[in-house]
Structure 1
Amino acid sequence: MRISLVIVSRDRADALASALNCLRFQTVTDFETIVVSNLPAPMGPAPAPLSHYDCQPANISLARNIGLARARGAIVVFCDDDCLPDPRFIERITAPFADPHIGAAGGMTRGTNGVAMQWQADAFGRDGRDRPLSIDLRKPWTVFAPEPDRFVKTVGTACAFRADALRAIGGFDEGFRYYFDETDVNLRLSEAGWSTAIVPAAQVHHAFAAGPHRDRRRMPTDMFEIGASAARFCRLHAPDAAAALGAQRRGLRNRVLNYHLLGLIGGQRLRFLLARLDEGIAHSQANFPPPPKPEPIPVPGPAISLPAPKPRLHFLLEGRRARMRPIASALAAAGHVVTLLDIRASARPLWAFFDDDGFWYHRGGVFGRIRRNEPLISLRTKPQYLAVELRRLALFRKVNYMISDKKPKQPAQILPELRTIAKIDSMTVLDLQSDNF
């Protein structure tokens, strides 16, 4: 099953470079990467093959349609440029499509600290308002069959679609230049009879880079497109469009007012955002392009040659960053997945990010929180901290070997060929592949 990954990017060259670097460590390699951007083609480490297409208008639906029209895979995966996919993300988000009834799949998103969940799963109604969605996080995925008035939401940070199904409904509605774009697609795919899968372990780390509509603090900088898209969605799908739009407007206004009450935005910006929200709503009502026609988008030419899959090992390096970084960089350069865990004697919560040298860096205090539902301070030892973190990591990237900067009790016998990659003779190497973590 061929796979195409489409990344839409706008004015964020640095974030895109990190995402492409991170994608080199996927456990599947038989996928093509398509970048659609208003900037020149990216340079630097990236998965192969990679193609770049220009899109100057600020319209995320148009950009995604450009990628869809050029995708050669049977499954098209979408990911934002400020997202860092876990190594098994593509493998897991595409697995449910073995079921011929599934037209869409959604993963889950961790927030800016790389640990806490930002998005898990939601449903929504024809009024565009979210509804509770219950899933079993222990299952590889949960399938939801179409329902007349409840639809399963996937978000652009981590989602995938059956290419033929998406083309058959006309792709993304370019009337949604920002906001409600995936929601509209989810609804139309469900109406066409396709089921949706939610895949808990298909995860990405969402860095929330600044963009045209928000700043680095996640505060909105303009509400025009949000208002326009909310009005369009209600007019297209809600049984009572006026009532649904009124509820959407109140909810959006309250969100902005809460930012002001919390001191996150000032009065002048508050007035600007509320005015722009209403301007967007008025614009959408006066300018209403027709929805996409349910006609197939032309399928592109023959599939290109893709590299053969190769096994990747996951190494957990435990020790101080200054000492372990050269080893982490060398292992990553050899194509392995690497997590460097730097545990300090403090109560600092766990924090994670992807280093430009190609490895994941996790830093935390032995007494600090790992999961965000834990107490602020936990009395535990370093081995206990390691055990908890290994179990957490196993959900999305299981560790094969752990290398510690402690002096070994006996010479390392594991993977002697690694000595040509990194100097580990003075360290402890543990084989965790048979352990039940």
Structure 2
Amino acid sequence: MNGNIRPVSLVSVVIPARNAETTVTTQLEALCRQTYPDPWEVIVVENGSSDGTRALLRSWQQRMPQLRVVDAAEGCGVNGARNIGCRHAHGEFVLCCDADDVVAPGWIAGLVDALRTSPAVGGALERRMLNPPVALAARPPKESDALLDTFGFLPYPAGANCGFRKDLWSRLGGFDESYRYGSDDVEFFWRAQLAGYRLAFAPRAVVHYRLRRDARAIARQLYRYGHSHPKLYRDFASRGMPSSQLGDVAGAWWRMLVRAPDLVGSADRRAALLAQLATRAGRIVGSARYRRCYL
């Protein structure tokens, strides 16, 4: 390490885990391969699992001394789990990843380096390594060379690969727990930027991102994402988030209508179309629920 760089006293990794028995071992093994040389800890928030996740995590504590398991047995949602993890974190930097992904060896080091000069950061998501062709057809890989910018407003990191200074989390009052699934990460990092905090991208901090494996599961997830978008618009329209444009919406539905035969076509084409339909359907239902039209 450069002698002019102040060492970080402790870094905390927070992982929400719900029904992650089949995947969390791979993520913990990946964390054990980190190149970061200074002290760090892992807080896994066991979020009301009905499988063997809790017992598996307890067994891992014998192998991984820096691992702590915190119980959130009521299943409080991903932001509730993140807040619980942050409250138990002793580090000045908090890094977040998910129990079903795989962090690359330089992940902690990449985020920590970026957090030395920025209060909040995000890393790169790599989609090809862990996912079958059907999943990649539904959610095609993108160049991961910048923060995400889905809504034409402000950039944001994915909750599966982000970091922030713990004092920033405290000043913002934590993650908004009313966002239980979908836009949960967007809301937090938009609020940070609107409060005057700068975000940075950490290209060396790579997470191999696991998608849902079949068309039905992908559609269910994207429906929930779409359902959250009108809520996001309700909360940020007055701060500058643009509305959905009627022409764009009509064009999207027309293209899906033209592609209707794909519903009885190959698995890849069917998954891709269902993903788009699910997102748009979720937005319609969310617009009715939150009384803000965002289609």
TM-score (norm. length: structure 1): 0.51
Aligned partner of 1:144 in structure 2 is none
Q: How does 1:316-327 map to 2 (within 5 A)?
A: none
Deviation (angstroms), 1:218: 6.8
Aligned partner of 2:138 in structure 1 is none
In the alignment, is the contact (CA less than 8 A) between 1:224 and 1:278 conserved in 2?
A: no
Aligned partner of 1:48 in structure 2 is 65
Aligned partner of 1:82 in structure 2 is 100
Aligned partner of 2:207 in structure 1 is 204
Change (3 A) 1:71 1:253: farther
Change (3 A) 1:30 1:216: farther
In the alignment, is the contact (CA less than 8 A) between 2:225 and 2:282 conserved in 1?
A: no
The residue identity in structure 2 corresponding to 1:129 is F
2:45 to 19, 31, 36: 36
2:161, 2:247 → 1: CA distance? 25
Deviation (angstroms), 1:83: 1.6
The percent of aligned pairs where both chains have the same amino acid is 24
Q: How does 1:305-320 map to 2 (within 5 A)?
A: none
Larger Rg: 1
Higher helix share: 2
Establish whether residue 106 from structure 1 lines up as the match of residue 137 from structure 2. Answer: no
Kindly provide the CA deviation profile for residues 304-325 of structure 1, in whole angstroms up to 9, marking residues without a partner as x.
xxxxxxxxxxxxxxxxxxxxxx
In the alignment, is the contact (CA less than 8 A) between 1:3 and 1:73 conserved in 2?
A: yes
Kindly provide the CA deviation profile for residues 118-146 of structure 1, in whole angstroms up to 9, marking residues without a partner as x.
6332454xxx614xxxxxxxxxxxxxxxx
Establish whether residue 92 from structure 1 lines up as the match of residue 125 from structure 2. Answer: no
> Match of 1:77, SS?
strand
> Match of 1:238, SS?
helix
Establish whether residue 264 from structure 1 lines up as the match of residue 271 from structure 2. Answer: yes
Change (3 A) 1:95 1:35: same
Kindly provide the CA deviation profile for residues 196-254 of structure 1, in whole angstroms up to 9, marking residues without a partner as x.
111111112113255xxxx4787222555324321111011124999715669939975
Change (3 A) 1:57 1:278: farther
Establish whether residue 170 from structure 1 lines up as the match of residue 167 from structure 2. Answer: no
> Match of 1:182, SS?
helix
1:178, 1:169 → 2: CA distance? 19
Aligned partner of 1:291 in structure 2 is none
Kindly provide the CA deviation profile for residues 387-414 of structure 1, in whole angstroms up to 9, marking residues without a partner as x.
xxxxxxxxxxxxxxxxxxxxxxxxxxxx
Higher strand share: 1
> Match of 1:13, SS?
coil
Aligned partner of 2:146 in structure 1 is 121
2:212, 2:85 → 1: CA distance? 22
1:243, 1:62 → 2: CA distance? 28
Deviation (angstroms), 1:265: 7.3
> Match of 2:115, SS?
helix
Deviation (angstroms), 1:8: 1.3
> Match of 2:146, SS?
coil
In the alignment, is the contact (CA less than 8 A) between 1:6 and 1:35 conserved in 2?
A: yes
Aligned length: 257
In the alignment, is the contact (CA less than 8 A) between 2:181 and 2:228 conserved in 1?
A: yes
Change (3 A) 1:80 1:252: farther
The residue identity in structure 2 corresponding to 1:182 is D
Change (3 A) 1:88 1:183: same
1:18, 1:103 → 2: CA distance? 29
Change (3 A) 1:226 1:98: closer
2:288 to 259, 282, 290: 282
Kindly provide the CA deviation profile for residues 358-401 of structure 1, in whole angstroms up to 9, marking residues without a partner as x.
xxxxxxxxxxxxxxxxxxxxxxxxxxxxxxxxxxxxxxxxxxxx
In the alignment, is the contact (CA less than 8 A) between 1:153 and 1:186 conserved in 2?
A: yes
1:4, 1:189 → 2: CA distance? 20
> Match of 2:124, SS?
strand
The residue identity in structure 2 corresponding to 1:79 is C
Aligned partner of 1:11 in structure 2 is 19
Establish whether residue 195 from structure 1 lines up as the match of residue 202 from structure 2. Answer: no
> Match of 2:207, SS?
strand
Q: How does 1:29-428 map to 2 (within 5 A)?
A: 30-37=39-46, 38-39=48-49, 40-41=54-55, 42=57, 43-44=59-60, 47-55=64-72, 56-57=74-75, 59-99=77-117, 102-113=118-129, 119-122=144-147, 124=149, 129-130=151-152, 151-209=154-212, 215=214, 219-221=218-220, 225-239=224-238, 244-245=243-244, 250=249, 254=253, 257=256, 261=262, 262-264=269-271, 276-285=282-291
1:11, 1:252 → 2: CA distance? 38
Aligned partner of 1:25 in structure 2 is 33
Kindly provide the CA deviation profile for residues 297-345 of structure 1, in whole angstroms up to 9, marking residues without a partner as x.
xxxxxxxxxxxxxxxxxxxxxxxxxxxxxxxxxxxxxxxxxxxxxxxxx
2:187, 2:251 → 1: CA distance? 18
2:12, 2:119 → 1: CA distance? 15
1:12, 1:249 → 2: CA distance? 38
In the alignment, is the contact (CA less than 8 A) between 2:226 and 2:281 conserved in 1?
A: no
1:222, 1:53 → 2: CA distance? 26
Change (3 A) 1:199 1:66: same
The residue identity in structure 2 corresponding to 1:19 is Q
